[in-house]
């Protein structure tokens, strides 16, 4: 008898953007829960929905009715999650949700049919919930920490917070045998010539950027032991033979002593494999750490730059400077490591002056690749709370996401498309730096056109340098 079915609501076949990118990764969180529960004697079935469609998932649920279904939720899967919940309830499942999305909207999900929402990490909570649900049902669970549910009168109950496990090296490795890892590798190799597998060396982020959700891990940061991480990597290489690794930590280089110890453990095992990861500029301000990354085989570091305006960075509480980003980018590239950069338009009272500063910043930083997004408020973040009076949702909650929130402080989408055009063309012209080059002339003309659009927009909408 299956004690728990685990799944998520992401279907690659419905994701037009990802079908162009084709860089999927297996669901690490669910694989961690699966291995932990199996280690503790539970029978678990993990249904990875990535390469399925919702019809196949529904068929499996209809053929295995009446159990407990655990679903991981995130921002982009809300609509699918609600469809899965409704179908599961028709087939007599008790439905338990986890992940950042349901943690931010527990009552909404309970009102849409879910029985329990786990707040925080799921391993220990589920190990207590499974026998409790069987013994008491889904409405008498007040003794379980870290959950939200409805009691027998329909009242929403939020139990006391669950203390997160400090020693995350005590958790077993993700249950990679429960998913088709080779299918992920094959997709990567087919589209990019190299197969990548993800792993984590830590959980959580202690930094307090105003737009970032901490719904699952809070502001904790817990690192695994270097030797244990190296053992897992050695296993991954021996079992699956990937071409590269993605360290999916929030800030991989947060601890330089840990990084140095980890590199020593990899050397003991004669491991050097290309990898990508993400960090902060201030945690790259150490030449020895950068040398270590290069020695380990780092292929690319992604840096959350967000803006070239120090005023905007300070409003975000990034605790990093524009100069640090530029220094880190330059020093990383000097060691043969590529730099990817994330940027954000439309935060707070950003003006055209701030946008121009970002353009100059990217030109001076000269990352190998950069991506932009328009800021959107995620529930329960300081950004959301600060601009609550400016936020509206045009559609129904169950068919929308936090990305659909509208901020009255922001400009129209065409404005940010023009900002992208200004940024891209300005950077390309700067890289060519030859006034006689035809491409330089074309990029410069496009940048000038975009800049003029932004100027005209601000004049038309009576926007001054202090915002709308």
Q: What share of the chain is helix, strand, coil (3-state, %, to 5)?
A: 45, 15, 35
Backbone angles phi, psi at 163, to 5 degrees: -75, 125
From CA 268, how far away is CA 273, in angstroms rounded? 14
Is 388 within a domain? Answer: no
23: in domain: yes
Q: What percent of the chain has pLDDT over 90?
A: 96
Average pLDDT over residues 209-217: 95
Residue 124 has pLDDT above 80, yes or no: yes
> Is 63 part of a structural domain of the chain?
yes
Q: What integer pLDDT is reported at residue 468 of this predicted model?
A: 46
| Rounded Cα gap, residues 110 and 117, in angstroms | 8
Which residue pairs from 269-274 have beta carbons closer than 8 angstroms and sit at least 24 positions apart in sequence? Answer: 269/230, 269/234, 271/230, 271/233, 271/234, 271/237, 272/296, 272/297, 273/233, 273/237, 273/242, 273/244, 273/245, 273/297, 274/194, 274/243, 274/244, 274/245, 274/298, 274/299
378 pLDDT higher than 90: yes
Q: What is the mean pLDDT of residues 211-229?
A: 95
Is residue 24 pLDDT above 90, yes or no? yes
pLDDT in tens, 244-275: 999 999 999 999 999 999 999 999 999 999 99
Segment 414-443, tens digit of pLDDT:
999 999 999 999 999 999 998 889 999 999
Q: What is the pLDDT of residues 304-342, one digit of tens each?
A: 999 999 999 999 999 999 999 999 999 999 999 999 999
Which pLDDT band holds residue 241 (cuts at 50, 70, 90)? Answer: very high
- Is the separation of the CB atoms in 362 and 329 below 8 Å? no
CA 148 vs CA 78, 402, 426, 462: distances in Å: 18, 21, 50, 47
Query: Would you say residue 43 lies in a domain?
Result: yes
Does residue 79 fall inside a structural domain? yes
Return all residues near 29 (Cβ < 8 A) that are at least 6 apart: 72, 98, 99, 122
Cβ proximity of 28 and 122 under 8 Å: no
Question: Given CA atoms 106, 109, 115, 121 in this order, what sign does their dihedral have?
Answer: negative
Total domain count, the chain: 1
**For residue 465, pLDDT beyond 70:** no
Q: Which domain holds residue 93?
A: 4-158
pTM of the model: 0.95
**Quick check: is 240 in a domain?**
no
Would residue 106 count as lying in a domain? yes
Closest CA to 361 of 341, 377, 375: 341
Strand 244-247 and strand 196-199: the pairing is parallel
| Mean pLDDT in residue range 29-36 | 98
* Residue 382 covered by a domain: no
Which pLDDT does position 434 carry in this prediction?
A: 86
What's the mean pLDDT when you consider all of the chain?
96
Q: What is the mean pLDDT of residues 196-211?
A: 97
pLDDT at 467 over 90: no
Q: What is the pLDDT of residues 34-64, one digit of tens each?
A: 999 999 999 999 999 999 999 999 999 999 9
CATH code, domain carrying 41: 3.40.50.280
pLDDT of residue 435: 83
* Residues 95/116, Cβ–Cβ less than 8 Å: yes
């Amino acid at each position: 008898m299956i004690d728990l079915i685990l799944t998520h609501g992401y279907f690659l076949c419905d994701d037009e953007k990802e079908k162009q990118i084709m860089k999927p990764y297996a669901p690490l969180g669910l694989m961690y829960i699966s291995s932990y529960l199996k280690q503790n004697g539970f029978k678990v079935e993990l249904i990875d929905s990535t390469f399925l469609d919702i019809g196949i998932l529904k068929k499996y649920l209809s053929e295995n009715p009446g159990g407990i279904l655990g679903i991981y939720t995130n921002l982009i899967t809300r609509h699918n999650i609600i469809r899965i919940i409704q179908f599961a309830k028709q087939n007599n499942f008790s439905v338990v949700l986890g992940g950042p999305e349901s943690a931010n909207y527990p009552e909404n999900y309970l009102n849409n049919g879910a029985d329990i929402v786990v707040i925080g990490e799921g391993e220990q909570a589920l190990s207590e919930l499974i026998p409790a649900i069987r013994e008491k049902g889904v409405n008498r669970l007040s003794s379980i920490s870290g959950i939200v549910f409805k009691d027998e009168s329909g009242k929403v109950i939020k139990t006391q917070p669950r203390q997160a496990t400090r020693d995350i090296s005590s958790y077993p490795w993700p249950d990679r045998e429960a998913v088709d890892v080779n299918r992920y590798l094959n997709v990567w190799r087919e589209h990019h010539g190299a197969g990548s597998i993800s792993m984590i060396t830590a959980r959580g982020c202690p930094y307090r950027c105003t737009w970032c959700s901490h719904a699952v891990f809070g502001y904790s940061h817990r690192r695994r032991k270097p030797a244990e991480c190296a053992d897992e990597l050695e296993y991954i290489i021996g079992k699956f033979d990937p071409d590269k690794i993605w360290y999916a930590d929030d800030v991989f280089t947060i601890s330089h002593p840990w990084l140095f110890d980890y590199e020593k453990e990899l050397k003991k095992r004669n491991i050097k494999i290309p990898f990508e990861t993400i960090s902060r500029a201030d945690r790259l301000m150490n030449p020895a750490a950068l040398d270590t990354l290069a020695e380990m085989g780092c292929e690319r570091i992604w840096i959350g730059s967000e803006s070239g305006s120090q005023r905007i960075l300070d409003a975000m509480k990034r605790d990093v400077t524009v100069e640090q980003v530029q220094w880190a980018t330059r020093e990383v590239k000097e060691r043969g490591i590529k730099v990817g950069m994330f940027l954000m338009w439309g935060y707070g009272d950003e003006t055209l002056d701030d946008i121009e500063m970002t353009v100059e910043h990217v030109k001076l930083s000269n990352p190998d690749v950069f991506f932009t997004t328009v800021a959107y408020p995620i529930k329960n973040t300081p950004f959301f709370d600060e601009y609550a009076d400016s936020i509206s949702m045009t559609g129904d909650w169950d068919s929308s996401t936090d990305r659909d929130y509208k901020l009255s402080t922001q400009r129209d989408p065409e404005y940010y498309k023009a900002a992208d055009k200004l940024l891209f063309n300005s950077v390309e012209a700067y890289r060519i730096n030859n006034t006689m080059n035809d491409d330089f002339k074309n990029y410069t003309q496009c940048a000038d056109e975009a800049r003029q659009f932004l100027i005209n927009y601000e004049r038309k909408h009576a926007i001054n340098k202090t915002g709308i």
